[in-house]
């Protein structure tokens, strides 16, 4: 019972912090506008760890690799902590366990990114009906533009209804099947 509560707390705290780091990375990568209610929150929440890491880990072609690697490292710590609390013995095959956890952490980051994009597409579609001039609209647009734009270039609106979010959501669901399969295969390593 205590282990389950500790796993829940670990998953909640480290999972949300990893999500915040990943959102910060994606907002910088996708050039989301800085003047929105969400950016100052993410910067205030993650800056204590990102600033020192940037001194050590340089950026690459406009990507903030320090923030991405921190998100991956937090996810790795989360997975290692959960496995330890579940009673996994790392001493027998430490190399395989660390490699497997590193791959699982990367898959978890990919999965989290896919879910972020999916939520952004759904939120943008809902906001376009309810309040298209919301302060979050530019942020959501920057998250979804690369994905929706690729579909919009190939499929025009039908009767003035843009079906590109629907097609992107179907593609996202297919990607989630692939990621879940990768996760299962990596989990069988240890």
pLDDT of residue 47: 92
10 Å CB burial of residue 113 (0-12, 13-18, 19+) is: middle
Q: How far is CA 116 from the centre of its chain?
A: 6
Global confidence as pTM = 0.90
**Mean pLDDT, residues 56-80:** 92
Judged against a pLDDT cut of 90, whether residue 108 lies above it is answered with yes
**Across all residues in the chain, what is the average pLDDT?**
90
Between 5 and 62, the higher pLDDT residue: 5
C-alpha dihedral sign at 111, 17, 40, 125: positive
pLDDT of residue 169: 96
Judged against a pLDDT cut of 90, whether residue 135 lies above it is answered with no
User: CB of 100 within 8 A of CB of 21?
Assistant: no
Separation in Å, CA 181 to CA 96, 176, 178: 19, 8, 5
Q: What percent of the chain has pLDDT over 70?
A: 99
Judged against a pLDDT cut of 80, whether residue 95 lies above it is answered with no
**Mean pLDDT, residues 107-125:** 95
The residue to which tokens 């205030």 are assigned:
44
Judged against a pLDDT cut of 70, whether residue 100 lies above it is answered with yes
What's the CA gap between 45 and 63, in Å, rounded? 19
Picking from 136, 162, 129, the residue whose alpha carbon sits closest to that of residue 147 is 162
10 Å CB burial of residue 30 (0-12, 13-18, 19+) is: middle
Buried b (16+ CB within 10 A) or exposed e, 86-104: eeeeeeeeeeebeebbbbb
Separation in Å, CA 72 to CA 105, 107, 136, 163: 6, 10, 26, 34
Residue 190 binned pLDDT confidence (cut-offs 50, 70, 90)? low
Tokens found for residue 123: 């939120």
């Amino acid at each position: 019972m205590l282990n389950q509560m500790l796993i829940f707390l670990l998953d909640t705290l480290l999972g949300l912090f990893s999500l915040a780091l990943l959102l910060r990375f994606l907002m910088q990568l996708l050039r989301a506008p800085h003047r929105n209610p969400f950016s100052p929150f993410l910067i205030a929440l993650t800056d204590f760890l990102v600033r020192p890491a940037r001194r050590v880990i340089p950026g690459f072609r406009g990507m903030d690799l320090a923030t991405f690697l921190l998100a991956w490292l937090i996810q790795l710590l989360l997975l290692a902590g959960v496995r330890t609390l579940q009673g996994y013995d790392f001493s027998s095959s430490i190399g395989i366990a660390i490699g497997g956890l590193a791959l699982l952490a990367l898959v978890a980051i990919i999965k989290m990114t896919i879910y972020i994009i999916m939520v952004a597409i759904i939120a943008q579609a809902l906001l376009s009906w309810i309040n298209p001039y919301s302060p979050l609209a530019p942020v959501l647009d920057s998250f979804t533009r690369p994905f929706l734009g690729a579909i919009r270039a190939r499929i025009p609106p039908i009767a003035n209804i843009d079906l590109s979010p629907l097609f992107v959501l179907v593609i996202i669901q297919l990607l989630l099947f692939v990621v879940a399969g990768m996760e299962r295969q990596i989990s069988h390593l240890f």
